[in-house]
Homo-oligomer: A and B are copies of this chain.
Amino acid sequence: MKVHVSKNQLADVLGHVERIVPARSSNPGLSLVRIKLEEQLLVFSGSNMDIDIEAQLPADVTGNGEIAVPAGVLGQVVRALPGDDVELSIEEQEMGLSSGTYSTRLQLVDPDQAPALDFEDSYDGLLPAPALHRILSNVRYATATADYQAIFRGVKLELSDSRTRAIASDGFRLAYDQVEESSGLDAQVVVPARSVDEMIRVLGEGEAQLSANASQLSLKSSGIRMNLKLMEGTFPDYERIIPHEFPVAVSVNARELSQAVSRVSLMADRTTNNRVDLFVHEGTVQITAEGSFGRSQEAVTVQQEGSEHEIAVAFNAKYLTDALSPLGGRARISLSRDSAPTVMVDPDAPGYLAMVVPLRTT
């Protein structure tokens, strides 16, 4: 059977599958891409046991069949093809790829060696893909990387009848972002950070279809279906630890503040948690850092409000710049004394909130 497809479309589809499928695995079947031939359609699928992915490519297929080849090798060959079009020829033992004067014959592997995957035929929920993309992207940074508490290595999605919220925390900081739009689902799930990255990659224009059960979140967007294994455990009740009263608040250009904090933090030592000190006073925030090589400082103008005239708070510089990163315009930063958390929001685009626990200075 011969099938003609565009090289770029085939490379795109394989790119999605290749990012999931492990290049090497103790289970060799896991490194395969399964290719189903359906009427006018090629369907590629693979898995890393945490994420199953399936991507469809319209093509001049007549008849049915199923084959498997190593995903990484197929991807490499397709990306290297010299022409714009590829002729695939599926035979008993081999899959031929030819383009221009170049041709390759890949040995087929029994598709039963690849994991059997089960994708949803219909989904219960629906959200604009760009909205889901935004709330996941904006909180991803706050997930934990260390073995602090396993559940913090995921992003929580709260799907309710009034809004959709993504939340991440590592115990020292927290971020959430939300849209006032319901997916139609009523569920609370925690998706591993690595799987969130793949969701973000797949979510483009148009709509995202969603389903959830106790063990998996299913997603369909841009012609790609994914099953994402959920994390077990309970995400802590975070809302009660977000303060609502602050002695001082400032409004500041988020990018300007973030760049100043980055520069100043170059003099901070890793051994002191990359500490920078912020001193708010008379419409200015003075940022200082000191370490074994020397010290540095910068002042940024702010609009200051609140019941008190000045406040001094110390932060891990990275936590500050991360928290400011989703904010394109102004940031409203509400500061507390005595190691109580600082809260940052975008006054012009509600939805996003970041909370950072300051460093103890005594």
Contacts and interface: CB of A to CB of B under 8 A. Distances in A.
B102 A298 contact: yes
A216 interface: no
Interface in A69-86: 69-70, 73, 76-77, 80-82
A298 B298 CA distance: 61
A80, A293, A295: which has the most chain B beta carbons within 10 Å? A293
A52 to B, nearest CB: 24
How many copies are assembled?
2
B264 A102 contact: yes
A298 to B, nearest CB: 4
Interface residues of A, number: 33
B300 A101 contact: yes
Interface stretch (A16-24, A58-66, A104-112): A104-112
A103 B294 contact: no
A72 to B, nearest CB: 9
B300 A80 contact: no
A262 B295 CA distance: 52
B263 A296 contact: no
A260 interface: yes
A266 interface: yes
Given A101-B299, A107-B292, 17 more contacts: A73-B266, A73-B293, A76-B266, A81-B263, A82-B260, A82-B263, A100-B298, A101-B260, A101-B298, A101-B300, A102-B260, A102-B296, A102-B297, A104-B296, A106-B294, A107-B293, A107-B294
